[in-house]
């Protein structure tokens, strides 16, 4: 019988950083047009673009958790049944309910609730399949695609263990083949422009190939976690042993890649600079891959050396992250209904308030629901399990 693997408690802190970045993007989304041409534009652009690692690191984490849990398990009918049952209950059902909620909300705002029921049902069905009932729901569509292909990757990696050292590179190759073909081969047709090629069923960013480097990078870290753990865990001893220089270089590269990525968009939006779009893709990919490493290291540092109240709060936030992800756009929508007044300082405070309120209130709602409502998983996914820490270690098995 296979030994159950420990739960890596730092991952919930990792999730908290990812969900905070998601909300940074959404909270600043309206500022880029509003502040263009003002001194406030660059700071808001920096927050928005630098935070673009949000979805990639979530996908990296999904790849890590899946392969960490299942790489050494037998791939059989019972395993597949359990795997897909959990995803249907804890991912797909909340997605359907929130898609319906946002569809009705947006339809009401547009004044179209009076349309025939058949038309509404048709429109909802299309949006449900494409993840377009609200701007953030495309992420779930990506995850569902990755769940579909997961058994194929698992079978391949289990049958050919020799391929494991190369899976991160394979992920980069798959993603960039797709990126190249999308730019120079197939594409979505534009209105009034005749083009040849393959008609894609979803926008480019809603297709899982766009994120394969992050997904399989997570799988690579999972496959070699025992060997890589000491490199991810930043310690004083590690600095003394020479790892510190590598860590400094990784962090410096992360900051530099993020700044370059931001400045590419700044030049485009303020000066109309003409740069091949593949450079934007490359800097986003590089910054996001480095973010996966940096955020894991920060998570280890905070969990082991940070204030207990801070690590506990971030762990709670991370455990509630899927529910926060689903709920926060509604709170941001309500917040933006409040009339705004004042100058640039008041405007910045208002944007910051939107981030804080949409994150904080959604976190409180999800936390209370998980704690006191047994069936809250219907809306917010898997409820966090309370870790039972042993004397020798502060982790239990990684639950899925």
DSSP letters spanning 308-368: HHHHHHHHHHHHTHHHHHHHHHHHHHHHTTS---SSHHHHHHHHHHHHHHHHHHHHHHHHH
**Where in the chain are the domains?**
1-49+238-374
Could you give the CA distance from residue 368 to residue 153 in angstroms, rounded to a whole number?
Answer: 37
Tokens 């705004």, located at residue: 340
pLDDT in the model for residue 199? 67
Query: Widest CA span of the chain, in angstroms?
Result: 70
What Cα–Cα distance (Å) separates residue 327 from each residue in 95, 179, 198, 332? 11, 31, 35, 9
What three-state secondary structure class fits 390? coil
pLDDT in the model for residue 115? 94
Could you give the CA distance from residue 273 to residue 271 in angstroms, rounded to a whole number?
Answer: 5
- Residue 111, sorted as left (phi over 0), alpha (psi -120 to 50) or beta, turns out to be left
DSSP state of 88: I
Q: Average pLDDT for consecutive 10-residue bins of the chain (400 residues)?
A: 72 97 96 92 97 97 96 94 92 96 96 94 96 95 96 96 96 95 68 54 89 98 94 88 92 98 95 90 98 96 92 95 97 92 87 97 97 94 64 41
pLDDT in the model for residue 193? 46
pLDDT in the model for residue 7? 79
pLDDT in the model for residue 238? 86
Which residues make beta-bridge pairs with 397?
6
pLDDT in the model for residue 181? 87
pLDDT in the model for residue 183? 84
Could you give the CA distance from residue 220 to residue 67 in angstroms, rounded to a whole number?
Answer: 8
pLDDT in the model for residue 265? 96
Which residues make beta-bridge pairs with 6?
397
CB 56 within 8 A of CB 292: yes
Closest by CA to 364, choosing from 338, 399, 387, 331, is: 331
Could you give the CA distance from residue 330 to residue 104 in angstroms, rounded to a whole number?
Answer: 12
């Amino acid at each position: 019988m296979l030994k159950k693997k420990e739960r890596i408690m730092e991952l919930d802190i990792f999730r908290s950083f990812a969900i905070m970045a998601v909300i940074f993007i959404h909270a600043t989304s309206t500022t880029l047009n509003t502040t263009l041409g003002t001194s406030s534009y660059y700071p808001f652009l920096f927050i928005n673009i630098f935070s673009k690692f949000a979805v990639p690191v979530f996908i990296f984490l999904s790849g890590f958790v899946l392969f960490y849990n299942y790489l050494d398990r037998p791939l059989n009918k019972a395993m597949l049944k359990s795997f897909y049952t959990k995803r249907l209950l804890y991912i797909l059902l909340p997605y359907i309910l929130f898609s319906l909620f946002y569809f009705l909300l947006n339809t009401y705002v547009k004044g179209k609730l009076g349309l025939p029921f058949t038309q509404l049902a048709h429109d909802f069905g299309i949006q449900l399949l494409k993840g377009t009932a609200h701007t953030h729901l495309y992420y779930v569509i990506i995850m569902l695609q990755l769940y579909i292909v997961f058994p194929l990757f698992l079978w391949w990696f289990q049958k050919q263990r020799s391929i494991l050292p190369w899976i991160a590179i394979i992920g980069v190759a798959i993603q960039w083949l797709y990126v190249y073909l999308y730019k120079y081969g197939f594409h979505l047709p534009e209105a009034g422009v005749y083009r040849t090629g393959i008609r894609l069923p979803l926008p480019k960013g809603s297709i899982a190939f766009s994120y394969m480097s992050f997904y399989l990078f997570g799988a690579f870290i999972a496959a070699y976690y025992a060997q890589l753990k000491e490199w991810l865990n930043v310690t004083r001893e590690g600095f003394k042993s020479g790892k510190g220089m590598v860590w400094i270089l990784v962090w410096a590269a992360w900051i530099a890649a993020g700044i370059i990525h931001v400045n590419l968009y700044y030049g485009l939006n303020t000066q109309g600079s003409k740069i091949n779009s593949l450079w934007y893709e490359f800097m986003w990919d590089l910054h996001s891959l480095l973010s996966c490493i940096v955020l894991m290291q920060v998570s280890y540092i905070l969990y082991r050396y940070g204030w207990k109240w801070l690590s506990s709060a971030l762990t709670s936030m991370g455990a509630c992250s899927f529910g926060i992800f689903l709920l926060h756009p509604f709170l941001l929508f309500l917040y933006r209904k409040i009339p705004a007044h004042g100058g640039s300082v008041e405007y910045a405070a208002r944007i910051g308030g939107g981030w804080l309120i949409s994150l904080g209130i959604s976190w409180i709602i999800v936390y209370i629901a998980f704690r006191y409502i047994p069936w809250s998983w219907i809306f917010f996914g898997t409820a966090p399990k309370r870790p039972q820490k042993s004397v020798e270690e502060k982790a239990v098995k990684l639950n899925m």
